[in-house]
Structure formats: structure tokens, C-alpha cells
Structure 1
């Protein structure tokens, strides 16, 4: 039977098993995935975990700590789950796509990255990229610029894609309708002034963001081959 607090509101029964930091972070991720940052409150966590504020504060400092740690967990999963192929080119593609898919599945990560862009787990990602570039015989003199360019592209496109997804969710418009409206606008521009834009209407309407992202990765990989 649920207990009643001093003000008369019902409280969830307290859990009897131990509460770990990992359990708290996983629950925070589930709340974030379900409703974004607004859904993640300490009160929501206490209800979800059937515990009190003190038990949560024992493991995390505040909501900011929860967001940062949840973001680190998502990136750690990408690094752990990446298929490191014997071909460093394919390994780079796997890493890039893993990050793109992770941010697509957890759009709230994009906002947290803008607040703390160079967190330790991103340094791990950066280090992995640099190692793979070395395996591809990218000269040391060019490796810093190549790794930075790759990181900027992968993170930038993944974050942009997540921002578009958030915009569509907030506006209630699906992706097909969004692209259809944009394509209609492109079709109305002056073809003499904007020949490429006018010709790209059909591609805009039906393109796949994930496939286009991978095309960009392949363009990068083709380009760094010239650095050897």
C-alpha cells in the first residue's frame, strides 16, 4: 500500500534493493529519451526509482551532473560497441556512424555537447580517430588538422540532424512533410540564378540523412588519401 506524505500526496513505496550510480544514470537516460531535458527532474527520478532525494544525491551532485554523466555514458557505448575492423578506413566509418546513430537516438545529447564540448569521453573518441588516421599513414604533420576536421564534421552533422529532429517533434511536422515544403520552395527559385538548387529539388525531397552523412565521411577519407 502506498504511503502518504505530510501534505497528503501519495508516495511510491521505497525500494529495498541497493541503488547504484549506474542504475540512476540508466533511469536518467530513459527519462531524457522519453521527454528530453524537461522530463529529467530529481523528483521524476525519485518516483521512477522508488527512492528518496538523499539516495540520489549520494551518487550525483545535481541535474547538471546527471546530464553530463548520461552523455558520457552514451559516448562510452559508442566506443565500446564500435566494430574495429582490420581496415582503419572501415573502422573510422563505424565510429562516425556509431556517433551519428547515438545522437539521432538520444537528441538531448546534442544540447549537452554544446555546453561541455571537450569532455573526457570525447577525448577518448578523438584519440581513437587519431590512432586510425595514423594507421592510414596520414603524416604526423597533417594528423592534427585531419582529426579536427573529422571530429567537426561528424559532431556537427550529427548535432544538426538532432536539432532538426527536435524542431520537427516540437512543431508536430513529420520529416516527409518538412522536406516536401522545403523542396516546394526550392522549386520556385529562379533556375537561371540558382541552377543547382533548382535541379536538386527531387534529391532534397527524398534524400536519406544517414546515407548523406556517410557520403561525407567517404569524401573525407578520399581526401586524406592525398596527404600520404
Structure 2
């Protein structure tokens, strides 16, 4: 079928919209990952023809960009209502962490470049709050992109770890996985790896999200050390 051809008669078209297409694509991505997202699978889920979908999105890359942008828009909703830029940045970071944990494919698509619509939205949200902290103009870009890299990298790593444990089935839970890894750390040679061995109990008991947000706090403390107390500090 030509991409411009009308879908066969009897197929559902009247309720088809780009929002419906994005929602169905998100369901496929969440369930089976990016490789499972094909226009044939999407058409089957929507009970329509592939041609009808092409009226709204030109190709898979555009569809992935739209699904990612939709997830990011929901992630950032209401962030600007927070008066304190530090709290806003922690809110953005925590929400991105949760979104990527729920939709690991979001991090994969965002990593494809700063020109992605979703990436632009996250960077802009972070950058506006960094600016509100009073960071010097000549350090705004470096500061905002450093925070962006930490947030996306940390969120993606957490999601990758969770996905790996779920796929292998080697351990019954995250707690058990941490316990096994902590046991390995505790058994390391104390002379060669003294720090890692000493951190075994911390690894066993830590919370991934709290650890992630602690990293955000360290970056914010670094901003304070460089630029001094600024707007919005409580």
C-alpha cells in the first residue's frame, strides 16, 4: 500500500488522531521495546491501515520523537509553579528519573541528540531554573548541560539495571540483587579495593532514587560554591 493510500473500507479511521497513535505507540514501547514498534503492529493495535497512520506521522523516527515529547511534556507539567529553583530542579530530576524508570525507551531516544524535541524541553526546563539560581551568564550553558547529563545518565542507568534484572530472572528482586552484589563487594581484597569493600553495607541498604537525588544536591551545592547564595534559596 502506498503511504498516501486510504485505509481499506471497514477499518476504523474516524477516531484516529495523532494523540491516539502516540498513546498506542507508547503501549507497544512499554510492553516490548523499540524493536517491536512497527507500523504494522501499530495498525493492528489501532484496528486501522498503515496508510491512515502515515497521514499523521511520516516514519518511525518521527513517531518515537512524538512519543518521547509526549512523555516529557507530562513529566514537566506544573514544574514552573514551583517558586524555589532548587526545589524545581529536584522536582524535574525526580520526575525524569520516574519517567525513565517507567518508560526506559525515553532515555534511549533522548540520547540521540540535543535537537530531539523532548531533549530540548528537558534542557530548557533545567536551564531556566539554573538561570534563576543566579549562575553567571558565561557559566549557564556548562552548568545546565552538566546537570542535564547527570539527570539523564543517572535515570538511564537505573532503568537499564532494572531491565537487566527483570530480563535475566537471575534474582527475585532488586533487594536480593543488591544483597548479592554487596556480598561480592565485602569479599574483595581489602588492600586492593579498600573503599569499595568498606561501602558494601551502603550498597546493600541504599535507595536508588534517594542516591540519585543526593547527586543533584551535590551539583546544586557546587553551584552555590561557585556562584554564591542566589535567588530562591530558603
Tell me the TM-score range normalised by the shorter chain: 0.7 to 0.9
Aligned to 2:144: 147
Aligned to 2:3: none
Aligned residues: 217
Aligned to 2:127: 130
Check 1:84–1:21 CA distance in 2 against 1; reply closer, same or farther (3 A cut): same
Q: CA deviation at 1:127?
A: 2.1
Are positions 1:40 and 2:37 aligned together? yes
Q: CA deviation at 1:118?
A: 3.4
Are positions 1:206 and 2:205 aligned together? yes
Q: CA deviation at 1:81?
A: 4.2
Match of 1:57 among 54, 57, 66: 54
Are positions 1:220 and 2:219 aligned together? yes
Q: CA deviation at 1:16?
A: 5.6
Match of 1:92 among 45, 65, 89: 89
Aligned to 1:197: 196
Which ranges of structure 1 fall in alignment gaps of 5 or more residues?
A: 1-12
CA distance in 2, matches of 1:118, 1:177: 40
CA distance in 2, matches of 1:139, 1:62: 42
**RMSD of the alignment, in Å?**
1.9
Check 1:63–1:134 CA distance in 2 against 1; reply closer, same or farther (3 A cut): closer
Give secondary structure in 2 for the equivalent of 1:115. Answer: coil
CA distance in 2, matches of 1:71, 1:124: 11
Check 1:150–1:15 CA distance in 2 against 1; reply closer, same or farther (3 A cut): same
Check 1:140–1:215 CA distance in 2 against 1; reply closer, same or farther (3 A cut): same
Give secondary structure in 2 for the equivalent of 1:191. Answer: coil
Give secondary structure in 2 for the equivalent of 1:219. Answer: helix
Q: CA deviation at 1:225?
A: 0.6
CA contact (8 A) 1:187 1:198 kept: yes
Please identify runs of 4+ aligned residues in structure 1 that moved more than 6 A: none
Name which structure has the greater RCO, CA cutoff 8 Å, separation 6+: 2
CA contact (8 A) 1:36 1:108 kept: yes
- Listed one character per residue, the Cα deviations across residues 43-88 of structure 1 (whole Å, up to 9, x for unaligned) are 2212211111111111112222222211111112112243631111
**TM-score, with normalisation over the residues of structure 2?**
0.85
Aligned to 1:167: 164
Aligned to 2:19: 22
Give secondary structure in 1 for the equivalent of 2:100. Answer: helix
Are positions 1:66 and 2:50 aligned together? no
Once the two structures are overlaid, the 10-residue window that deviates more, 81-90 or 130-139, is 81-90
- Listed one character per residue, the Cα deviations across residues 121-173 of structure 1 (whole Å, up to 9, x for unaligned) are 32232222222122211111222211111011101101111211221122123
Once the two structures are overlaid, the 10-residue window that deviates more, 50-59 or 187-196, is 187-196
- Listed one character per residue, the Cα deviations across residues 80-122 of structure 1 (whole Å, up to 9, x for unaligned) are 2436311111011111111111111101112222334531332
Q: CA deviation at 1:190?
A: 1.4
